Amino acid sequence: MAFHPSQEEAIRHGDGPMMVLAGPGSGKTTVITHRTRYLIQEKGVDPSNILVITFTRAAAREMKERFEALTEGNSPRVSFGTFHSVFFTILKYAYRYQASDIVREEQKIRYIREMMEQYQLEIEDEHEFVPAILSEISLVKSEMMSLDHYYSKNCSEAVFKKLYEGYEERMRRAGLLDFDDMLVMCCQLLDQRPDILKAWQNKFRYILIDEFQDINKVQYEIVRKLALPGNNLFIVGDDDQSVYRFRGARPEIMLGFLKDYPEAGTVLLGTNYRSTREIVDTAGTLIAHNKKRYEKKLTAAKGAGKPVQTCMSRDPREETLRIVGEIQDYGAAGYQLEDIAVLYRTNLNPRLLVERLMEYNIPFTMKDSLPNLYEHWVSKNILAYIRAARGDRKRSNILGIINRPNRYISRDALEDGEVSWDKVKSFYQDKGWMVERVEQLEYDLLMLKDMAPVAAVNYIRKAVGYDDYLKEYAQFRRMKAEELLDMADQLKESAGGFKTMEAWFDHMEEYKSKLMEQARSQKEVREGVSLMTMHSSKGLEFRVVYILDANEGITPHRKAVLEEDLEEERRMFYVAMTRAKERLHVHYAAERYGKKQERSRFIGEYLKQGK
């Protein structure tokens, strides 16, 4: 097999540390597998002294399969694994841990939910809140930081501290570890037991790490200890593709590697074998706007192709219609649907596109599950008002509206399965102001009864005061109110397509059953246009890529305020762009929910005009 000179240089590197900067589509897996073979066959290294670390089990399996195909299965003793599997092996020998000692995901979720009940936390978006809190707990542990210096992104510090300490206490009581405990314990073990450290240093004399840009602080500390004294540390990654800061990944570790190892060799795999020159150059122009990065010049082995298409639509409806039309054109031109991907910043973005693909019977697969707009808690609250106005007095339905906005009505006032407003008023008969609140609610429900869908949504948001409730809740959850108001806007946008409530509710049922059908067929056949978030697209490639909703506030996401957040958002956009092999289309809307929208700053940056 003929290698590019830079690949050859990396593969044949001798002893000592080496950093391989691997641009998108530059053949990094090839380099790692061939270097492993080179160490064994040409340098005479014992295969059992080689450790290859990746970030996911799937990547470790693929790397091992590629290596075995290369050596025809003759070097089975090379260790391939994830950070967690390697560190767990070290703990297993030291402390006799078993796989059953590792906490399961559903147990972690149960612990947080139990504490939410214990502390009587009324969380509307529990499905988002629980994973977000677990992610923050993981971050605090993997950074080995003190709780006193941690500012929670999801709730007050006092609430986060209670949840963190309660979680830890439940874990200890059950005698369980999570993945972050493994890392911290492994680090402490190697610090406290030089004999154990020495044994593993003798075992792993050559360490190769893939996707090094995604490493966190504890992982790096352990690897540095294991690599001593020879420092045969061969790291491969691309600081421009580091997109997991929210999980504790620190691109600055890769950026500081040469300070930690001044003697390290470096090589740039600068030839992109995936994409055309236009895609490589345009993406390169964009990422050059990041200040904290290794500068690199990438070239396309494929040569010239078609220019990157940037397209403005009037609104999201026109945007999705245009994309669907173009996908049909690609099909007519001989492209397979599997050659095409639509990428977006979050899994809330593609709802309209999904509806449109269903409408035109274009098969699609989704890597991430699509949340049903009508089952989001904001939609559920608004729809509960509409159902109550149309006669649904079930206690479960009324509980969805009674204190949104807060009317301070006690649950005890709703004692029956079917709510009677007269009984609620009689519960508060000695408190005139509370009776007035109940009467106002009755009046609002009467007003809503015969309204058209869009008028009803507007009335609930503005006249009833539901938007104010969302703003208050956003403050409590430390989120931007726009995120929740966007959900209400999406619901209003959907309502605008229907003249009667019956027609709108029929659409919701049909949409729900189509989504369920889609989820079922995903398991059976995986064919059609690929829809996925930018995060999920990492490592994949497609002949044709569409980037959906390239607008300010979406990408870069409105949560990105600090410079390092914006740089991460730019890296994410870069990852999305570099998935395309032949054609790249970037779409944005001039208006959304009747409000003017700015196109993403990233478009101006890659067009070099910054308009």
pLDDT digits (tens, 9 = 90+) for 395-444: 999 998 999 999 989 888 888 888 899 999 999 988 989 999 999 999 99
166 backbone dihedrals φ, ψ, rounded to 5°: -65, -40
Which of 146-150, 366-370, 546-550 is least confident?
366-370
Which residue did the predictor score with more confidence, 610 or 175?
Answer: 175
pLDDT at 47: 94
| pLDDT (0 to 100) of residue 523 | 63
Question: Which residue reads 């294991």 in tokens?
Answer: 226
Tens-digit pLDDT profile for residues 539-571: 899 999 999 999 999 999 988 888 999 999 999
Three-class DSSP category at 255: helix
From 93, 98, 89, 81, select the one nearest 176 (Cα to Cα): 98
CB 601 within 8 A of CB 289: no
Question: For residue 524, what pLDDT band results from cuts at 50, 70 and 90?
Answer: low
H helix and E strand count, the chain: 25, 16
Q: What is the DSSP string of 447-470?
A: HHTT--HHHHHHHHHHTS-HHHHH
Return d(Cα 183, Cα 189) in angstroms, integer.
10
Strand partners, 177: 102
286 has a pLDDT exceeding 70: yes
| Contact present, 590 and 544 (Cβ < 8 Å) | no
Mean pLDDT of 125-139: 90
Mean of pLDDT values over 106-127: 90
Strand-pair partners of 50: 206
| 19-75 confidence digits (pLDDT tens) | 999 999 999 999 999 999 999 999 999 999 999 999 888 888 999 988 988 888 676
Please determine, for residue 605, whether its predicted confidence score (pLDDT) is greater than 50: yes
Could you give the strand order of the β-sheet that contains 233-237, starting from the edge strand earlier in sequence?
A: 79-82, 50-54, 206-209, 233-237, 18-22, 265-269
Neighbour tally for 304: CB within 10 Å: 10
Scanning 363-480, the segments in alpha helix (DSSP H) are 377-389, 395-399, 421-427, 432-448, 453-462, 466-476
Q: What are the structure tokens assigned to 313, written together?
A: 């639509």
Which residue is it, tokens 């214990």? 118
Q: Are 533 and 368 in contact (CB under 8 A)?
A: yes
Query: 204-213, 221-230, 353-362, 578-587: lowest mean pLDDT where?
Result: 353-362
- pLDDT of 525 reads 62
Place of tokens 């009689």: 426
Q: Burial level of 229, CB count in 10 A (0-12/13-18/19+)?
A: exposed
Tokens of 562: 């600090």
In angstroms, rounded to a whole number, what is the distance separating the alpha carbons of residues 604 and 117? 48
Give the chain's length. 611
User: Does 209 score more than 50 pLDDT?
Assistant: yes
Residues 6+ apart with CB under 8 A from 487: 348, 373, 376, 378, 379
Query: In what helix (H) or strand (E) does residue 162 lie, and over which residues does it extend?
Result: helix 157-174
Q: Name the helix (H) or strand (E) containing 358.
A: helix 351-359
Q: Which helix (H) or strand (E) is 183 found in, with range? A: helix 179-192
- Report percent pLDDT > 90 for the chain: 70
In this structure, the strands spanning 595-596 and 340-344 are unpaired
Q: How far apart are CA 335 and CA 543, in angstroms?
A: 9
| DSSP secondary structure string for all residues of 208-240 | EESSGGG--HHHHHHHHHHHTTTT-EEEEE-GG
Name the residue among 223, 246, 262, 12 with its Cα closest to residue 139. Answer: 246
Confidence (pLDDT) at 522: 64
Tokens at residue 13, please?
A: 């590197």
Q: What is the largest CA-CA distance in the chain?
A: 91
Q: Which of 344, 348, 398 is nearest to 125 (CA)?
A: 348
Of 549, 606, 532, which is closest to residue 311 (Cα–Cα)?
549
Rounded CA separation 127/106 (Å)? 13
Q: Where are the alpha helices (DSSP H) in 265-350?
A: 277-287, 316-332
Q: What confidence tens digit (pLDDT) does each residue in 437-451 have?
A: 999 999 999 999 999
Q: Residue 205 is encoded by which pair of tokens?
A: 């004399």
Task: State pLDDT tens for residues 318-346.
Answer: 999 999 999 999 999 999 999 999 999 98
Give CA–CA dist 520/527, Å, rounded: 13
pLDDT tier for residue 609 given thresholds of 50, 70 and 90 = very low
Report how far residue 242's alpha carbon sits from residue 42's, in angstroms, rounded to the nearest whole number.
Answer: 33
Taking Cα atoms as reference points, which of 2, 59, 49 lies closest to residue 236? Answer: 59
pLDDT bucket at 610, cuts 50 / 70 / 90: very low
